[in-house]
Amino acid sequence: MNRLLKNREIWLGLAIVAVVIAVTLRFPRFSQPGNLLTILNDTSILMMLALGQMVVILTRSIDLSMASNLALTGMIVAMVNAAFPFIPIPLLIAGCVVVGAALGAFNGILVWKLDIPPIVVTLGTLTIFRGLVFVISGGSWVNAAQMSPEFIQLQRGAFLGLPNLTWFAIVVAALFFVLMTSTPIGRGFYAIGVNPTASVYTGINVGRTKFLAFVISGAVSGLAGYLWISRYVIASVEVASGYELTIIAACVIGGVSIAGGIGTVAGALLGALFLGVVNNALPVIGVSPFWQMAISGAAILLAVVLNARGERSKGRIILKKAEVAS
Amino acid sequence: MTDISATGRRLPNRLDNPLKSAALSWESLLVLVALGIFIANSFASPYFLNAWSLSDLTFNFTEKALIALAMALVIITGEIDLSVASIIALASTLMGLALQYGADTPTLVAVGVGVGILCGAFNGFLVTGLKLPSIVVTIGTMSLFRGVAYIVLGDQSFKGYPKDFSWFGQGYVWWVISFELVLFLVAAVIFYVLLHHTNFGRRVFAIGNNATAAQFSGVRVDRIKFVLFCLTGLMSGIASVLLTARLGSTRPSIAQGFELEVITMVVLGGVSILGGAGSIIGVVLAALIIGLVTFGLGLLNVPGIVMSIFTGSLLIVVIALPILWRMWKAKRA
């Protein structure tokens, strides 16, 4: 029970429930299952992106290029679909993952082989990828009329009562859960975040592990590229502009430590869900959507203050134990 | 010094010399790059070599470069401030709000600069007072500050700034020399002296190289970091006054993406993103290079978004080249 109370994910979960209850008291329709599912579906893309970002942040890196990667892959897939509507959608999705992973690998190789700080690399690729969207599209849009019906409808279908988009998020989350908890690679992400030097001695290739993290975040961005474009049925240069910060915000709110090594799949998912619930609640309670940005900013600051507290007290407890032991 | 040479035991000064020579060669590289782009520009466009063109060019970078000067110090101490563009937006919005209540030009400037300092102090308090990582704090305040601007303005805008206020962004001190350029040059000199010729500057480097050691040698690490965040806020406030005066209106999306360009200038200028090394001359040169590149491409009718490919590549290439060069040399040795 005590451990449960200290669990950050539980507190975040309770905070989300509290927001839902508070809104429901005024507007009972808010917590109807249908609306809650809509919120979950609306947040699916952010959840996947937050998981990808989490892996990168765990390794003491940061990926600022995710939103630009998403926009670039999305534009590529939209243009391919518009030009060759007969290509089956699963093949397109696989292509998106590969293209996204390749863009991520570009980040990763610069971090791994040249040892350039990740924030510099991804700051550069953030602008480069976004610029490339303009170059390949010539600044024009790909709109709903140019996309094939299957391209648009795939994620809108439902399976077992849940929209396919939500299923995408569930499958991705399950994959991440297995990766992070049950594979040497996943444990390696935590290890090099907690202590890179010790990781080297345990035989983990730090550079290669960071490279893999960037490939993963890139692959997720690529997948999100297709999902985003087919959801909002418009591919343009401006797609998801500035969204990289929302992704990082979801991670920070979810308790992923920017110093690396701390963070869970559940935390990242709940962090994204928190932002989703708040964003969906604002119009319901009649607050202008222009409040959204300030609220997520305040949420980030609050989360980081609380996280820092948690991490600090943990440090003290370890020291106390060490004192008792000696 | 004489003692050492007398005994014949010359200790290699590992702390100073490699850094200094690297910085020197870095700056000469930047000068070469700037000259190259300048010459390429004059060949590429017949409109480039003209006093007024060159004057227009400076407007491309002065506001960002003003912030880059302070940002360089913040990054040298190993911190970062991603909220600068949002400080511009908030300061500009509150100036617009003050205008609605009939503020005159001196009040407007005071509001802009004051908001900047307060925002910087807020960042500084969160980083030094609550011991939070600056990258997360400033990602948060980046949303918060601009978010407040959105709350105030929504999809509206403030217009109708007084004429003497516009002078800050559009006025010329003498012939083609704009007020913005003069202000930037003065600020560059002040920051140069501050970083390279004062105790304060030495402490900034000390913190960046080893904050713990600096703390134990009596440097008030937190206080200096706090001051630097305030300073960055101040420069953002000043930039906000200039930008608002130049554009003549305030929208909440003003200066969107500036933070990345400012950081690009700083890193391109040879400041180590890991802290501990860098020079103001490098930052000034980097600002000039980015101004030259974007202006030159603009004369060739290259759209802004494509220019960003060049600045992004420039950032990565300029950092990667020396590393590749060192790797190549190490392989040969």
Pairing status of strand A234-235 against strand A142-143: antiparallel
| Mean pLDDT to the nearest integer, A272-295 | 85
Report angle CA A127, A128, A130 to the nearest 5 degrees. Answer: 65
Tell me: pLDDT of B82 over 50.
yes
Chain-centre distance of CA B128, in angstroms? Answer: 21
| CA–CA dist B237, A203 (Å, integer) | 50
Tell me: pLDDT of A324 over 80.
no
Residue pLDDT, tens place only, A24-37: 888 888 888 888 88
Residue spans of the domains in chain A: they are: 10-16+33-282+289-307
Residue pLDDT, tens place only, B3-28: 444 444 454 444 555 555 665 678 88
pLDDT band of residue B311 (cuts 50, 70, 90) is confident
Which pLDDT score is estimated for B244?
A: 94
Which residues pair with residue B158 across a beta bridge? B250
pLDDT greater at residue B206 or residue B260: B206
CA distances from B97 to A150, B34, B237 (A): 50, 41, 15
| CA–CA dist A309, A300 (Å, integer) | 14
Residue B213 sits at the chain A interface (C-beta within 8 Å):
no
Residues 252 through 281 of chain B touching chain A, CB cutoff 8 Å:
252, 256, 260, 263-264, 267, 273-274
Residue pLDDT, tens place only, B51-77: 888 888 888 889 999 999 999 999 999
Residue pLDDT, tens place only, A88-100: 989 999 999 999 9
What is the rounded end-to-end Cα distance, in angstroms, of chain B?
32
CA distances from A231 to A35, A164, A225, B149, B303 (A): 18, 11, 10, 29, 28
Which residues pair with residue A235 across a beta bridge? A142
ipTM higher than the 0.85 cut: no
Residues 152 through 191 of chain B touching chain A, CB cutoff 8 Å:
153-155
| CA–CA dist B4, B6 (Å, integer) | 5
| CA–CA dist B232, A232 (Å, integer) | 38
Residue pLDDT, tens place only, A44-85: 999 999 999 999 999 999 999 999 999 999 999 999 998 888
pLDDT greater at residue A304 or residue A209: A209
SS3 (DSSP) at A268: helix
SS3 (DSSP) at A143: strand
Residues 6+ apart with CB under 8 A from A62: A53, A56, A118, A119, A122, A248, A258, B135
pLDDT greater at residue B49 or residue A58: A58
User: For residue A121, what is the nearest residue in chain B, using CA coordinates?
Assistant: B316
- CATH architecture of the domain A10-16+33-282+289-307 equals Orthogonal Bundle (1.10)
Tell me: pLDDT of A310 over 80.
no
Residue spans of the domains in chain B: they are: 47-294+307-320
For the stretch B179-188, contacts whose Cβ atoms lie closer than 8 Å and that sit 24 or more positions apart, written own/partner, are B180/B58, B180/B59, B180/B62, B180/B63, B180/B242, B180/B246, B181/B55, B181/B58, B181/B62, B183/B62, B183/B66, B183/B238, B183/B242, B184/B58, B184/B62, B184/B65, B184/B66, B187/B66, B187/B69, B187/B235, B188/B65, B188/B69, B188/B280, B188/B284
Quick one: which of A97, A241, A246 has its CA closest to A172? A97
Tell me: pLDDT of A320 over 80.
no
Task: Please answer yes or no on whether A119 and B273 come within 8 Å at the CB atom.
Answer: yes
Tell me: pLDDT of B282 over 80.
yes
Give the range among A202-216, A297-311, B187-201 with minimum mean pLDDT.
Answer: A297-311
Which pLDDT score is estimated for B21?
A: 63
Out of 3.30.160, 1.10.890, 1.10.3470, 1.10.10, select the CATH number for domain B47-294+307-320.
1.10.3470
Residues 6+ apart with CB under 8 A from A266: A9
Chain-centre distance of CA B316, in angstroms? Answer: 18
Tell me: pLDDT of A127 over 80.
yes
What is the rounded end-to-end Cα distance, in angstroms, of chain A?
28
Tell me: pLDDT of A325 over 80.
no
Which residues pair with residue A163 across a beta bridge? A158
Contact B119, B145 (CB under 8 A): yes
Contact B246, B170 (CB under 8 A): yes
Q: Using the 8-state DSSP alphabet, how is residue B219 labeled? A: -
| Mean pLDDT to the nearest integer, B208-221 | 92
Contact B136, B122 (CB under 8 A): no
pLDDT band of residue B234 (cuts 50, 70, 90) is very high
CA trace torsion A132, A133, A137, A139 (10° rounding):
-100
Quick one: which of B230, B229, B244, B228 has its CA closest to B117? B230
CA distances from A219 to A127, A134, A140, A287, B297 (A): 19, 21, 25, 36, 33
Name the minimum distance, in Å, from the CA of A257 to any CA of chain B: 9
Residue of A64, A106, A126, A301 to mutate, testing the B interface (most B Cβ within 10 Å of its Cβ) = A301
Q: Provide the whole-model pTM.
A: 0.84
Which pLDDT score is estimated for B12?
A: 47
CA distances from B92 to A151, A249, B34, B52, B243 (A): 43, 25, 32, 28, 8
Quick one: which of A116, A63, A107 has its CA closest to B321? A116
Cβ count near B260 (within 10 Å): 21
Going A206 to A208 to A209 to A211, the CA torsion angle's sign is positive
| Mean pLDDT to the nearest integer, A182-197 | 91
Quick one: which of B95, B93, B79 has its CA closest to B147? B93
Q: Which two tokens stand for residue B268?
A: 């391109």
Angle, helix A243-253 to helix A66-83, in steps of 10 degrees: 130
Name the minimum distance, in Å, from the CA of A131 to any CA of chain B: 5
Cβ count near B234 (within 10 Å): 22
Give the range among A92-106, A182-196, B232-246 with minimum mean pLDDT.
Answer: A182-196
Q: How many beta-carbon pairs below 8 A join chains A and B?
A: 138
Quick one: which of A86, A95, A98 has its CA closest to A150? A86
User: For residue B310, what is the nearest residue in chain A, using CA coordinates?
Assistant: A128
Residue pLDDT, tens place only, A247-271: 998 998 898 888 888 899 999 999 9
Cβ count near A148 (within 10 Å): 16
DSSP E strands, B226-315:
249-250
Residues 96 through 155 of chain B touching chain A, CB cutoff 8 Å:
126, 130-133, 135-137, 139-148, 150-151, 153-155
Instruction: Tell me the chain B residues in contact with residue A236 when contact means C-beta distances shorter than 8 Å.
Output: none
CA trace torsion B170, B175, B180, B183 (10° rounding):
-150
CA trace torsion A148, A153, A155, A159 (10° rounding):
-140
Cβ count near A9 (within 10 Å): 18
A194, amino acid identity: V
| CA–CA dist A173, A42 (Å, integer) | 15
Contact B229, A82 (CB under 8 A): no
Contacting B with CB below 8 Å, chain A residues are: 62, 110, 114-117, 119-121, 123-128, 130-132, 134-135, 139, 237, 242, 245, 248-249, 252, 258-259, 288, 290-298, 300-301, 304-305, 308
